[in-house]
Every structure is written in structure tokens, then in C-alpha cells.
Structure 1
Amino acid sequence: MPRQQRRRSYDQHCAAARALDLVGDRWTLLVVRELLAGPRRYTDLHADLPGVSTDMLAGRLKDMEGAELVTRRRLPPPASAFVYELTPRGRELLPVLRTLAAWGAPDLGEPRPTDAVRAHWYAIPLLGAFAGLGAGVVQVTLDEGEFFVRVGGDGSVSYGDGAYGAATGEVPDARLRTDAATCRALAGGESTLAEAIEAGRAALERPVRAGRS
């Protein structure tokens, strides 16, 4: 199926310009940020993108479907709702967002009075901090909410919103309790995870699994 033509283009034969043709519009990369955490209903996306209008979000999702970054599918009964999820091409934007987050982390500072905050927004800048824990799933709990990080045996990382195993009963390999200020310090390179744990700014627990000595 031919790729749908977008309404706007920089019309420059440049790889960066081509990339911005696809993801340079306002809100597009933040939609990607949300969908990197897993499939989401439209209402969930709208709730975690405060400030976006319903028309703007619908338009961005339509553009992203046309660019083959996002697909829409119906969940099986009894849910029978539609969800949006990233295509493999869309998931390739994770390193882009990690680099962008690393570049922006020094300017993050304290939340402004007008800033919305979601726990899983800290996930991307913190992915590298969990690599030293080895392969497995780490559940992260903040006052603002929860998210989890998966570390693969090959060092690959991904993340999800909410409590890991909430629907399946699976148990994470480790649980980390910390706060937003520590997350900002980790993201900005002011502290390592080991230093935060040693200083009591983060607490790491590894659940004892059945059959494990």
C-alpha cells in the first residue's frame, strides 16, 4: 500500500528534513512518547497529553497512520475498544526521544506551576540508569504514579505505564521507590542509581520468587 502523502513538506532533499516532515509537527513526538509505553485508547492518550485539543490529537493520529508510524486495532471482547499502537517504524523513534530527553534534561529543573506531571514521563531519560541492574523488569514507584522498565539480555530497554503485571499477575524482578527530584538528578547526570540508593534517595527491593533459594 503506497504511503499517504502529507499535506506539508519542507521539500528539501535532506534526511533531517524528511524526518521532520513525518514527526516535526507539534505533539507528534509526544504521541510517540505515550505509545512507546504500550497501546493506548484515544481517551487515555488525550488524558496524558494535557493541552492538546481533540481535533489536534485526531489529526496527528491520522497523519501518523498515513506515515505508517501508528496503527489502530480493535481489542477483542469484552473490551471491544480501539487502541493505537506504534508500528516497528514508529518504535524506532525511541533512541531519538532518548537523545532529545538527554539534551533537554539539564533544563528540566523544578516543575513550573503550570506544568502537568506524569510519572512515566521520567521513564525515557532514566532508561540508561537501569542497564546496570541486569536483564529483567523494574517497577518504579513515585508519588506521582508508577511505570516499569524492561531491560533485555542484549541491553535493549523499553518501558510501560502503570503497574507491571496488573492484568496478568506477573511480578517484576525488582521494585524501585524514589521521588521526582531524584529522577531529575539521575536524568541530568548529577547522580547514578547506585549513589541514589546509597544516599537513601531511592530504595531497591528484589522480590523473592517461589522456588528460588
Structure 2
Amino acid sequence: MPRQQQPARPARRRSYDQFCATARALDSVGDRWTLLIVRELLAGPRRYTDLHADLPGVSTDVLASRLKDMEQGGLAVRRRLPPPAAAAVYELTEHGRGLLPVLAALAAWGAPALEERRPTDAVRAHWFALPLLRALGGLTLGGIVEVRLPEGEFHIRTGAEAAGGEAYGYGPADRPDACLVLDADTALALGRAELTLAEAVGEGRVEVLGEGSLADGLRGWQSPHPALVPLNSPVA
């Protein structure tokens, strides 16, 4: 009689085995690529192929393994979109979205190392969202700010718009309340607090498009009669 095969035991994730909050956190997110996957999912649900495209250098096996670990650890869930999309996407749980201030702090700590872009460095526009979130952190007005960089576009939610959801998103916004046009160096300088948004606008390093209170607030009221530019105006 053939011997019955025993079911494989689930692999036990490595642990520091330390009764320490920092060690427990690193048990969940300390593996290579995990926090960068969180960075991608902070902007909203994403398909596996999209994640792989925006994480240059990660192998398919490692990405699949990390996503599985994140599901098991309660950081992310996998769900299927309804027709006509009918695609599977990954998204962060509330527990996973709680890592936003951690990623923002890491971005602020690591920003001084971005003085020069290396020839081998990949870049995506939405990777500048975390530094700009810090620069816009003092805004009390709620709304959606579209950000246009030479590398691409993304959008940031401020005030009540950001509560309980994604703080930023991929690509242009459907109906932005304001738009910022700038380059990557200025975005990093704002994130490093080397200059304020009002200073950047005054120096011509940031162009603010749009009408309304949020656009006016972003301009910092640089003149008694600020020129209001419609959002659909062409950008040179």
C-alpha cells in the first residue's frame, strides 16, 4: 500500500525573535523590496504586471513571494475587479496604509543622498509624491493637486480628501483643484525643506495652474492680484 504523503507545512517566516516593537515591525517589512511595494500600493490598487513594471530590478519570483508575505501579514489583500476589467489587483489594508508616515520619514531621511542622478537610476514620476507630501503637509484646504514633472504626472490629495484613502495617485487627476508644474530638482528641494512652496513659486521654479481657494493657497498670494490660469491651459 503506497505511503500517504504528508501535506507540506507552511514555511515559517524569519523573525528576529526580540520582544521589541522595532524588531516586530521589521519582521513584517524588513525584507528587501517590501517597503517599495508598499510605496507603490500607497497610490491605490495595482495589478501584478504594473507593480513589476514600476519596480525595476525585482524578479517575478521575489515579487510574488513578497506579495504573498504581505497578504499573510495583513498588509495587503488581493481582489478581483468587476467586469469589464475582470483583473486581479493588490491593495493595502488599513494596517498597510499605516506605513505612510514611515515611508515619508524614510524619504525625508534619504533625500540628501539624491544630489545626483546616477546613469543606472530608474525614475518614475510618482516616486516624488512622498517628498511633496511633506512640503504640502501644512495645507489645511482639502482638494486634489495634480503634479506635472518632465518624468510624468501624479496627483496628491490634501486635507479631508486624503483622510481614509490614498494620499496620492498615479497619473493626472480627473478633476484637479490645482496643478503644480515643476522639475524633479525642485520637488526634491521642497521635500528637503530647502525652500518653501511660496519661495519656489516666487522664484518661478513652480507654476501653479487653476482657480479657487486651493490654487490661491498654493500660490502663497505672491501678488495682490495673482494671475489665475485655467487648468486646461496648455503648458509649455
Instruction: Please say whether Structure 1 and Structure 2 have the same fold, judged by a TM-score greater than 0.5.
Output: yes
Instruction: Provide the secondary structure at the position in 2 that maps to 1:190.
Output: coil
Q: What is the identity, as a one-letter code, of the residue corresponding to 1:164?
A: A
Query: How much does 1:164 deviate?
Result: 1.1
> Cα distance 1:154–1:72, how it changes in 2: closer, same or farther (>3 A)?
closer
1:164 matched to 2:161: no
**Correspondences of 1:122-137 after superposition (within 5 Å):** 122-133=128-139, 134-137=141-144
Mind listing any 5+ residue stretches in structure 1 that lack a counterpart? Answer: 166-170, 209-213
Answer whether contact 1:135 1:153 (CA < 8 A) is retained. Answer: yes
Answer whether contact 1:131 1:155 (CA < 8 A) is retained. Answer: no
Distance 2:161 2:89 in 1: 29
**Correspondences of 1:36-115 after superposition (within 5 Å):** 36-115=42-121
Q: Aligned match of 1:189 in 190, 193, 207?
A: 193
Answer whether contact 1:119 1:145 (CA < 8 A) is retained. Answer: yes
Distance 1:44 1:76 in 2: 18
Query: How much does 1:132 deviate?
Result: 4.4
Residue 22 of structure 2: aligned partner: 16
Instruction: Provide the secondary structure at the position in 2 that maps to 1:72.
Output: strand
183-192 or 84-93: which moved more?
Answer: 183-192
Distance 1:6 1:189 in 2: 43
Query: How much does 1:188 deviate?
Result: 1.5
Answer whether contact 2:104 2:134 (CA < 8 A) is retained. Answer: no
Q: Aligned match of 2:183 in 179, 183, 195?
A: 179
Give runs of ≥4 in structure 1 deviating > 6 Å.
Answer: none
Distance 1:95 1:198 in 2: 29
Distance 1:34 1:136 in 2: 21
Answer whether contact 2:133 2:156 (CA < 8 A) is retained. Answer: yes
Deviations 1:144-183 (A, max 9, x none): 0111010123985811111112xxxxx1100110001101
Distance 1:98 1:158 in 2: 11
Distance 2:69 2:47 in 1: 17
Q: What is the identity, as a one-letter code, of the residue corresponding to 1:206?
A: G
Residue 211 of structure 1: aligned partner: none
Distance 2:176 2:91 in 1: 23
Instruction: Provide the secondary structure at the position in 1 that maps to 2:131.
Output: helix
TM-score (norm 2): 0.81
Aligned length: 201
Identity level (%): 66
**Correspondences of 1:137-152 after superposition (within 5 Å):** 137-152=144-159
1:205 matched to 2:209: yes
Mind listing any 5+ residue stretches in structure 2 that lack a counterpart? Answer: 1-9, 212-230, 232-236
Answer whether contact 1:6 1:63 (CA < 8 A) is retained. Answer: no
> Cα distance 1:6–1:109, how it changes in 2: closer, same or farther (>3 A)?
farther
Q: Which has the larger radius of gyration?
A: 2
TM-score (norm 1): 0.89
> Cα distance 1:7–1:155, how it changes in 2: closer, same or farther (>3 A)?
closer
Answer whether contact 1:5 1:66 (CA < 8 A) is retained. Answer: no
1:34 matched to 2:40: yes
Residue 126 of structure 2: aligned partner: 120
Deviations 1:68-93 (A, max 9, x none): 10000001101110000000000000
